Structure formats: C-alpha cells, structure tokens
Chain A
Amino acid sequence: GNSVTQMEGPVTLSEEAFLTINCTYTATGYPSLFWYVQYPGEGLQLLLKATKADDKGSNKGFEATYRKETTSFHLEKGSVQVSDSAVYFCALKMISNYQLIWGAGTKLIIKP
C-alpha cells in the first residue's frame, strides 16, 4: 500500500544551521506531496506542497523538491530560527483517494 517514511526525531540544531528532514514515499501512481507543520499545542498548518515530479514547493524559507526517481520529498531550510521549533509531517495524496497518508512526524528543536 501507499506509505510515507520520515526520519526519526528529534532533530536538534543550533540557530542558523542548515536543515534537512528526509521524507520518502511508496505509492502506486503519482501522488501529490505535502509538508505540514505543527507548533506546540496547536493544530497543523500546510507548509508547502508539490503536485508533480520536479516541482519545488517553497514557503517561509523552507523548500522541498518532488523527486520521482528517488521517491523523496526532503524538507530543507538554509538557516533555521528558534521559532522553527515544531513537529513536521510529510504526507501524500493520491488522486483516486480522499485520504492523506501521513508520516509519523519529525520533531525539530532549534537551540539559540
């Protein structure tokens, strides 16, 4: 079946460090891919998305490129801030299905 695998957390970085959170997927077909972010005690917010191969989603300094050849959608940011501390979820959606398939989430901790 379809699935999403994220790197385990927590990921701990110093402010201004470079961030990568890995996400790989398994899907029969061509899914749309998403990154959502959850700040402490809150609901999730859509961070960025990509709907086809080689698309790059970007928002708030974060980027992710839809790589069909490696079935990946890694999240990157060039210089993280303390305010980026949150849990990040990778997800996929097939056209034929109403549901999102979620990764387990990766907790990011940024130290000043």
Chain B
Amino acid sequence: DGGITQSPKYLFRKEGQNVTLSCEQNLNHDAMYWYRQDPGQGLRLIYYSQIVNDFQKGDIAEGYSVSREKKESFPLTVTSAQKNPTAFYLCASSIQGAGEQYFGPGTRLTVT
C-alpha cells in the first residue's frame, strides 16, 4: 500500500530539547511539505521540498529545520528556538507542481 507514514503519533518533550519528527513516503513523489496545525486553525506551511537535497522556507520556518537526503524521507526538527512548539504537525507529498497533496496521519507534539 502506498502512502505517507509519520511517527510517532504522540510525542512529549521537555522545553529546551530538540525533537525530530519522521515523515516517510513510498508514493515516489518529488515534493514534500511540513505543516503546522493549531486547534481551530488552518494549516500553516513550515518548509517544503521540491527535489532531493533542496528545500525552501514556508510561512513559519523560524525555530524549525529540515533535511531532504532521500526522496522518501523529509524529517522535521523542532528546535529549542521555536517559542510555541506544542501543535499538530502534518507531513504531505505530491507530484511536483500538483495541487493534490497526500497527507500523513500527523504527529501531535506536546512540549512542557
């Protein structure tokens, strides 16, 4: 079955710690995206990557970092510089340039 996996589903961290969220896809998509979703709000783009070894900042990249060393993988690191890291994080992928994005099940991060 093709799809996107995100792990873990729930993640708890202490303030001041960096944490890395996993995103893997086997859809052979070139493009991958990270979004943040806060309660009752829409999606905000953190980073996106159109091709391996290249990525661009989205609207709220501060305090986050990514890498794209493999086509299948696009991990997101939430650093201690992110002031309000508690949120629901969604990873997506698409054919390059397409509007149809395929989403993973999300990771709910809680930082205390």
Interface residues of A (CB under 8 A from B): 32, 34, 41-46, 49, 89, 91, 93, 95, 98-100, 102-105, 107
Contacts and interface: CB of A to CB of B under 8 A. Distances in A.
B98 to A, nearest CB: 8
A104 B104 CA distance: 19
B27 interface: no
Contact of A49 (B45, B50, B100): B100
Given A89-B43, A93-B99, 19 more contacts: A32-B99, A34-B99, A43-B90, A43-B103, A43-B105, A43-B106, A44-B101, A44-B103, A46-B100, A49-B99, A89-B42, A95-B97, A98-B31, A98-B48, A98-B97, A99-B45, A100-B101, A104-B41, A105-B42
A95 B92 CA distance: 19
